[in-house]
Copies of this chain bind each other. A is one copy, B any other.
Amino acid sequence: MNIAIVGLGLMGGSLALSLRAKDYINKIVGYDHNEEHKKTALELNLVDEIVEFELVKKCDVIFLAIPVNGVIASLEKLTDVSQDVTIIDLGSTKEKIISSVPPIIRKNFVAAHPMTGTENFGPTAAIEGLYEDKVVVLCDLEDSGKHQCETAKKIFTSLNMRKSFMRGAEHDRHAAFISHMPHAISYSIANTVMKQENKRNILALAAGGFRSMSRLAKSSPNMWEDIFRQNKTNLIEAIELFEDELTELKEAILSDEWEKVHQEMKDGNKLHDILD
């Protein structure tokens, strides 16, 4: 199987590293619109070869590992692939992408979201094992071709990923709560502290808690602007529900309702009975 990876950053680069070891893979070629990324990807041996965009169409499988608006633009340029080609996107939103797939290649297309990542980006952020034992959400598979579904499942299974199937709309709402809203909050925490006059003094004291809560604020603005655009409605809903929750806690603190404050913290503790 020949693989093309469009976008050689954290997601695409890590995918290349993981797929290289698989014996059903013949060759991995890469494309990136950023010249620096192309060079770095070759230097790091992420892919066997860098090709022009036109040539990715010759591969059996094309991964789109680029910001979500880029996925939509790329699909427009892939309408002439043969009917055996499988196109898999790895975007963090699904509904807008799925509804934008040109009908002529709808069967070629598989909508996937691997629930993994780090705050780092670019080819140097690529790490082997990023996908190992993580969940991949596959959306609206009934509209993808049988061959394409099988190909996608084979690849994700070979990466030891756990597959979860759902509608694109359902995915986007879930993702707003567990990923997109927390990213918005992390950027805002970072900016709140950065606006303090003595930010350097404050940060000199930063321990693990602050590092956890501000880590996502390191994420790529290019990638996250697109995600926020595409999942705007769900994101706003999630942010507003969070704001209500925080306001409730704040009001309880302000009015010395300590039993209520305590109960809200105990409720928060329960998350980890489910999560761990």
Contact of A204 among B164, B243, B249 (CB under 8 A): B164
**Given contacts A194-B270, A225-B261, is CB(A206)–CB(B275) below 8 Å?**
yes
Structural contact, A192 and B265, CB atoms closer than 8 A: no
Structural contact, A182 and B209, CB atoms closer than 8 A: yes
Tell me how far the C-beta of A69 lies from the nearest C-beta in chain B, rounded to whole angstroms.
10
Cβ–Cβ < 8 Å partners of A205 in chain B: 115, 135, 137, 164, 174-175, 178
A45 within 8 Å of B (CB atoms): no
Structural contact, B272 and A192, CB atoms closer than 8 A: no
CA distance A274 to B81 in the complex (A): 47
Contact with B along A228-253 (1 / 0, CB 8 A): 11001001101111110111011001
Contact with B along A29-68 (1 / 0, CB 8 A): 0000000000000000000000000000000000000000
A99 within 8 Å of B (CB atoms): no
Task: List A180-199 residues whose CB lies under 8 Å from chain B.
Answer: 181-196, 198-199
Identify the closest chain B residue to A267 (Cβ).
B191
Contact of A200 among B116, B179, B232, B274 (CB under 8 A): B274
- Which of the segments A14-22, A102-110, A138-146, A211-219 contacts the partner chain? A211-219
CA distance A258 to B192 in the complex (A): 20
Cβ–Cβ < 8 Å partners of A228 in chain B: 253, 261
A26 within 8 Å of B (CB atoms): no
Q: How large is the interface on A (under 10, 10 to 19, 20 to 34, 35 or more residues)?
A: 35 or more
Contact of A208 among B116, B192, B194, B271 (CB under 8 A): B116
Structural contact, A236 and B212, CB atoms closer than 8 A: no
CA distance A117 to B270 in the complex (A): 20
**Given contacts A117-B208, A188-B245, is CB(A193)–CB(B218) below 8 Å?**
no
Question: What number of copies of this chain does the assembly contain?
Answer: 2
A203 within 8 Å of B (CB atoms): yes
Tell me how far the C-beta of A145 lies from the nearest C-beta in chain B, rounded to whole angstroms.
25
**Given contacts A205-B175, A258-B225, A274-B203, is CB(A213)–CB(B212) below 8 Å?**
yes
CA distance A201 to B171 in the complex (A): 10
CA distance A222 to B266 in the complex (A): 9
CA distance A178 to B266 in the complex (A): 22
Identify the closest chain B residue to A179 (Cβ).
B209
**Given contacts A194-B270, A196-B177, A241-B192, is CB(A212)–CB(B203) below 8 Å?**
no
Tell me how far the C-beta of A190 lies from the nearest C-beta in chain B, rounded to whole angstroms.
4
Cβ–Cβ < 8 Å partners of A209 in chain B: 117, 178-179, 182-183, 216
The 8 residue pairs across chains A and B that have the minimum distance between CB atoms = A221-B265, A187-B268, A217-B268, A190-B268, A190-B271, A182-B213, A188-B246, A188-B245
